[in-house]
Amino acid sequence: MQQINIIDAPKHVDEEVKIGVWLTDKRSSGKIAFLQLRDGTAYFQGVVVKSNVSEEVFEIAKKLRQETSFYVTGVIHQDKRSHFGYEIEVSNLEVVGESEDFPITPKEHGIEFLLDNRHLWLRSRRPFAIMRIRDELIRATYTFFHQEGFIKFDAPLLTGTAPEGTTELFATDYFDTEAYLSQSGQLYEEVGAMAFDKVYSFGPTFRAEKSKTRRHLTEFWMIEPEMAFMHQEESLQIQERYIAFLVQSVLDNCQYELKLLDRDPEILARYTKTPYPRISYDEAIKLCQEGGIDIQWGDDFGAPEETYISDQFEQPVFVLNYPKAIKPFYMKSHPTRDDLYICADMLAPEGYGEIIGGSEREADYDKLKAEMVKKGLDLEAYDWYLDLRKYGSVPHAGFGLGLERAITWICHLDHLREAIPFPRMINRLRP
């Protein structure tokens, strides 16, 4: 008899197998017990028929509590009524670890309670599906960029400079020198692009913003590619190919997880078609004003504006060329508009807002230095960054995608915090 995982059940129909599982729920009619089982790979049902098992096994089944761990032995059968499509007819149970008063019961719980108990909530169907899709997006990211000729170039997590300039940073003492947890690896990726042509980083970043909106996290993961000898339009084409590739990978490999989340795959399929629409910042402002939104040229877009703009399109949409006053210093100036940078944000459909921000970078030493002076930056702290423009500077572009925002959109979640494994575990570090 073979020990398998639930996910492999389709390969063992009408075979007797053994599986290590946890109990998520159960119900009984007196002569039959229905056990809802999980093993970390999938969920399915175990059926215990009193007349087909020993009295001891049936008593064990009746007394099992939520999250008790045990080995289940039985024969796999097809079950077209379930999400998974298979079940196990139980012949034996062997308890491994008892569980009592598990706090996350099958009843409804508020999101704050669930997040406070994230270390246990991860066992439930919804976070299970989200984390499996997160894993698929990570795998697909590596595949896409390697196919496109990029190399992974890791940026430091402790830095002495702030790529975004105005964003609050988490400060720390670095042997009597002030350092910060990285808010972006972008400046370091530009270093990599000058050495390796096309690079990307993929790692945690930190923003010390006291925001409790559904669109902000203080710790999240960023994918940040940088490309040498490249202008903005070429970068936009890579961005839309990347997003389409991610969505297609989920459609190809996560149908079971999408079913658990009740996410319509036909809606996601729309987002695999490129090119995506493009509008200018000027056009976006006019669009919002015509829609009755109180916004003026020069204002940044918040959640209501981004939602309204994206609602006018059935695909992700690029908003191009923002005012300099609301964007970071490193972007290239527009060739005919001194008040604009050559940049773009990609807004996700269905009201999920910005998922990618990118730009062509300023490649001219004197122009970049002038922008840094305007922004009040310490030139000495950025001397290494200016060096990139002194020794063989080239046109280059890049962008950043927040992994959790992409997950939230693709999974159609209400809360960004659901997309990260441990959004509140810092609370557990307090004495």
Minimum mean pLDDT among 79-88, 92-101, 256-265, 338-347: which range?
79-88
Instruction: Tell me: cis bond preceding 275? Omega within 30 of 0 counts.
Output: yes
The CATH topology of domain 118-419 is BirA Bifunctional Protein; domain 2 (3.30.930)
Domain limits, the chain:
2-97, 118-419
pLDDT in tens, 268-310: 999 999 999 999 999 999 999 999 999 999 999 999 999 999 9
For residues 69 and 22, the answer to whether their CB atoms sit within 8 Å is yes
E strand or H helix at 234, and its extent?
A: helix 232-253
User: What confidence score (pLDDT) does residue 165 get?
Assistant: 53
Q: Residue 92: which residues within 8 A CB-CB, separation 6 or more? A: 53, 57, 72, 73, 74
pLDDT in tens, 370-424: 999 988 888 998 999 999 999 999 999 999 999 999 999 999 998 888 988 876 5
pLDDT in tens, 36-69: 999 999 999 999 999 999 999 999 999 999 999 9
* Interatomic CA distance for residues 194 and 85, integer angstroms: 52
* Interatomic CA distance for residues 377 and 160, integer angstroms: 12
Q: What's this model's pTM, rounded to 2 decimal places?
A: 0.93
Query: Tokens for 343?
Result: 């940049």
**φ, ψ (nearest 5 deg) of residue 355:** -120, -20
Mean pLDDT for the stretch of residues 59-88: 94
Report the top-level CATH class of 2-97.
mainly beta
